[in-house]
Amino acid sequence: MKEEPHCTGRLALETLLVHGATPFDPVTGAVTTPIYQSSTFRHPGLYESTGYDYSRSINPTRTELERTLALIEGGRSGLAFASGMGAISSIIKLFKPGDHLIVSADLYGGTYRLFHEYYEHYGFSFSWVDSSDLNLVEANLRPETKAIFIETPSNPMMKITDIRRCGELIHNHGGYLIVDNTFLSPYFQNPLKLGADLVVHSGTKYLAGHNDTLSGFIVHDNDIFEEPLRNAQKSEGAALAPLDAWLVLRGIKTLALRMERHQSNALRIARWLQEHPQVEQVFYPGFTEHPQYQLSCSQARGHGGMISFYLKNRDDVAVILRKVSLILFAESLGGVESLLTYPLVQTHGAIPEAMRLSAGVTDRLMRLSVGIEAPEDIIADLDAAFSYSTI
């Protein structure tokens, strides 16, 4: 009798992350999912199929990853894309011209660019609001509002949006709540369980975890989304390739260990930055003095590995970016290596100046993705870089 290699939701999350949806290959017993590096699949005969035909539509490696993401995010179905932007673009296909979406003003600049420079031209409208202020969210609801799209924690100012309350607002209005869960990953936060309808990830970040592949995901818990999202994935051709799917599957196995280390390192380094004379202000959701700390604790199991901070002196920016050596001056986040980013010209360069400044993205803002290195080495590198600065 063939064994049924399927994990269930009764297992602890740490266990599900290690074993995934299918903990071993039922044919060979392989304990890692094979890379089905094939564009097409043979059919046994006319009107007969193995269930696979063409990898743009469906591929066994990608299917295993999608099932695993659905399992760990607490959803019914997952879809894997070539990037997080591909996933977000497919979500917009659920709506039609004339529809209005409320969007977090403090979010990744690529999302702003996609919505403003492309989908506004097709008749969609967007209101950019501080979604951590529910009064502002409610004030921007219109008869044609069909969704609220939030990042929480926000990028890069680490504001926390109340997922439950936003869900109630938009559901009472007949729309959907979409949550970008990239910063916390399914290990620390599960928005579907809090009332979200769709969860999106840049899998490039914490899910893959090693800065070696691009990927994006949508997870949902409602059959109404399945057919249109699958059709968008297949028709636009943004599906994740088999090798990249395998890399993300491999990364997910250590997600629990990595997220715990990212978080413990981040808290220690955020406190060190807080005491540094050249730093004006540090933004980290794990601070008990963070204005939304209690809200964060009520909807997430952790606070993640992302820190933003203001320098006192604008001239220190170029010096520090040039002088860090262990920490890498690079765009992106969520990998095992610590990365330092300058949002003004990198992640948020596409956002208009007035909107950037209103959100807090000034010319003194730095964003640090804290890796899993020894924390004392990260601090020593920052300390050495600061020593070259102008103060």
Determine which one of 108, 119, 206, 284 is catalytic. 108
Question: What six digits make up the tokens of 176?
Answer: 């959907």
Listed as own residue / partner, the contacts of 350-355 with beta carbons closer than 8 Å and 24 or more positions apart are 350/109, 350/110, 350/112, 350/113, 350/117, 351/109, 351/112, 355/105, 355/112, 355/128
Taking the C-alpha atoms of residue 95 and residue 58, their distance in angstroms, rounded to an integer, is 24
- Residue 80 tokens, joined: 């894997």
| Exposed / middle / buried, residue 47 (Cβ in 10 Å: 0-12, 13-18, 19+) | exposed
Q: What is the DSSP letter of 197?
A: S
- Cβ neighbour number for residue 262 with a 10 Å cutoff: 29
Asked, as a colleague might, if the bond just before 153 is cis with ω within 30 of 0, I would say yes
Catalytic residue among 62, 146, 159, 205: 205
180 classed as catalytic: yes
Cα dihedral 254/258/220/75 (nearest 10): 60
Residue 205 among the catalytic residues = yes
**Euclidean distance between CA atoms 103 and 145, whole angstroms:** 11
Task: Report how far residue 262's alpha carbon sits from residue 266's, in angstroms, rounded to the nearest whole number.
Answer: 6
**Known catalytic membership, residue 234:** no
Distance CA 366, CA 124 (A): 32
Catalytic one among 180, 197, 244, 381? 180
Active site residue: 25, 52, 56, 67, which one? 56
Active-site amino acid positions: 56, 108, 180, 205
